[in-house]
Amino acid sequence: MSKDLSYAALNARKNEIMQSAMGIDYSKFELPGIGFDYEQMMREVAYSMEEMERIQREHAVGNTPLIELRNLTNLARKYAPAGKGARIFVKDEACNASGSFKARRASIAVYEAKKKGYKGVICATSGNYGAAVAAQAAMYGLNCIVVQECYDSRKVGQPEILEKQRICEAFGAEVVQLTVGPELFTTLLQLLEETGYFNASLYTPFGIAGVETLGYELVEQCRAQIGCDPDMVLATNAGGGNITGTARGVRKAECDAEVCGVSIDLKGLHMASDHDFNKKSFTTGHTGFGMPFMTWPDRSDCPRNAARMLRYMDGFYTVKQGETFYITEALASLEGYERGPAGNISLTAAFALAQEMDKEQVIVVQETEYTGAGKHPMAQLSFARENGVEVVFGDPDDDIPGKKIVLPVSPDLIKARKQNLDVTRRSYIKNCVKKNVMTQATPADIQFIMDDSKASREFVTEELQKHNVEIL
């Protein structure tokens, strides 16, 4: 008898499907109450730094250059107060196989799949990670399927996502393209069950641990090249794996740099909305992904998400779409590096934050990504106009996501807008109560929430009590 492939039936079998597709028994890490032992999971499932460096080195991943952006630094100093204008460096992750830092995540996941005897790998992604998985699968001789949400109901695709489809197919992957909506996860479950392939999810311990080498490397390179540790490391933030893995690597290098996330401000646009889907000009690194995952990381396609950004985030900033387009062009015209949009999100914040820091300080943007026709600002801005979005020059603070993109008339208008993480923590705690149907909180529950949100005991207990949770 064939299995029931309805939405409800597939989701009812999701834990069974996921365990079979990853070979991880997540139940062994569960704690009494609402929490799980995150560090035990990372220790037992992932690999050591030395092992990961070896795996990546053998498959064209890692050891990417750390580049000082002297011309962008000088431009920032032009608008900075006297004595200000930190040195801006960028880790050029476009040099990885497949052209982005996602190669680090894919390298460990695909290695695990090969080691465990899976015949193929599957991932759900808008593209960069799919390209990384496809490239690594090709190296290991494994089949690869990429499930990609790329169209609205008119079958109109966003140029950046379609560019990513091209590169996934170039590396030999079968790309399953879907319209926006809930079928992405259901299709992933069905394919995993039908093929018996490995779930190379973005959110496994393998994927997150693979990024630790990035944080570790950039600290070691700073020490070797300029004789000091970075003062600040900026990571573009979407689902949280980038900042989680980078921060863990920075800490393993015994560096206490401030590690902060940066996202494009797309407030008001709903990522699962057919109407809003093509109103955005950035397909990753925006608040439409970042905020939902910050406030509830376990919404992922794993029983427990290894990307726990609030655990590691020292600060969070937002920038505007027009500002990021401006910095993308500035990077190419001033520095001679044409790179894709994702890393330029955190570079935009770095340009503004450098003006607040001392000249002797160092700020590192921890990634770049490859670019292509669909990722280029001109393609994105043309697509925005076709979808009724006004593109003008002016003050980026006048930006209205989905309605108006404002390119700055002068670089001194570019800002890094610091967000209040306590607001995010409150939303996270609210979700803890709601998702776990909490009426009581044990000391272990409180400790887990403290660790997972980097919040004080007083803050956590006060918020729980606001939701009528009894403190035991």
Residues 251 and 351 in one domain: yes
pLDDT in tens, 213-248: 999 999 999 999 999 999 999 999 999 999 999 999
Q: Give the pLDDT mean for 9-33.
A: 88
Q: Are residues 222 and 299 in the same domain?
A: yes
- Tokens for 338, please give them: 């044409």
Whether residues 333 and 370 share a domain: the answer is yes
- Give how far Cα 100 sits from Cα of 16, 103, 217, 345, 401, Å: 32, 6, 15, 14, 26
Quick one: which of 87, 72, 18, 126 has its CA closest to 335? Answer: 72
Q: Which residue has the higher pLDDT, 376 or 426?
A: 426
pLDDT digits (tens, 9 = 90+) for 46-69: 789 999 999 999 999 999 999 999
Residues 183 and 194 in one domain: yes
pLDDT tens column, 142-165:
999 999 888 888 888 888 888 888
Residue 323 buriedness (CB in 10 A; 0-12 / 13-18 / 19+): buried
Asked if pLDDT for residue 335 goes beyond 70, the answer is: yes
Mean pLDDT of 308-320: 97
Domain boundary among 170, 205, 240: 205
Q: How confident is the model at residue 358 (pLDDT cuts 50, 70, 90)?
A: very high
The pLDDT assigned to 283 comes to 86
Position 237 scores a pLDDT of 95
Q: Are residues 313 and 441 in the same domain?
A: no
Give the DSSP H or E segment for 144. strand 143-151
CA distance 448 to 37: 9
| In the predicted structure, residue 91 carries a pLDDT above the cut 60 | yes
- Strand 315-319 and strand 417-418: pairing? antiparallel
Judge if 259 and 332 occupy the same domain.
yes
In one-letter notation, the amino acid at residue 165 is: Q
pLDDT at 127 over 90: no
Amino acid letter for position 399? D
Residues 273 and 318 in one domain: yes
Examine the fold and report which residue of 187, 205, 223 is the final residue of a domain before the chain moves on: 205
pLDDT in tens, 154-196: 888 888 888 888 899 999 999 999 888 777 888 888 999 999 9
Beta strand pairing call for 440-441 and 232-236: unpaired
Within-domain flag for 46: no
CA 52 to chain centre: 20
* Residue finishing a domain among 205, 228, 247: 205
Number of domains composing the chain: 3
Tokens of 335: 């520095």
Same domain? 114 vs 188: yes
SS3 of the chain: helix, strand, coil, percent, to 5 = 50, 15, 35
Which residue range(s) make up the domain with 438?
422-471
Measured N-to-C along each axis, helices 443-453 and 421-436 cross at an angle, to the nearest 10 degrees, of 140
Residue 180 lies in a domain: yes
- 65 within some domain: yes
pLDDT at 211: 97
Token duo for residue 68: 């000082």
The pLDDT, as a whole number, for residue 227 is 98
pLDDT of residue 158: 84
244 lies in the same domain as 354: yes
Task: Looking at the structure, tell me whether residues 320 and 365 fall in a common domain.
Answer: yes
51, part of any domain = no
Q: How far apart are CA 144 and CA 198, in angstroms?
A: 9
* 460 and 371 within one domain: no
pLDDT at 6: 79
Supply the CATH number for residue 115's domain: 3.40.50.1100
Packing angle, helices 205-226 and 49-57, rounded to 10: 90
Q: 432 in a domain, yes or no?
A: yes
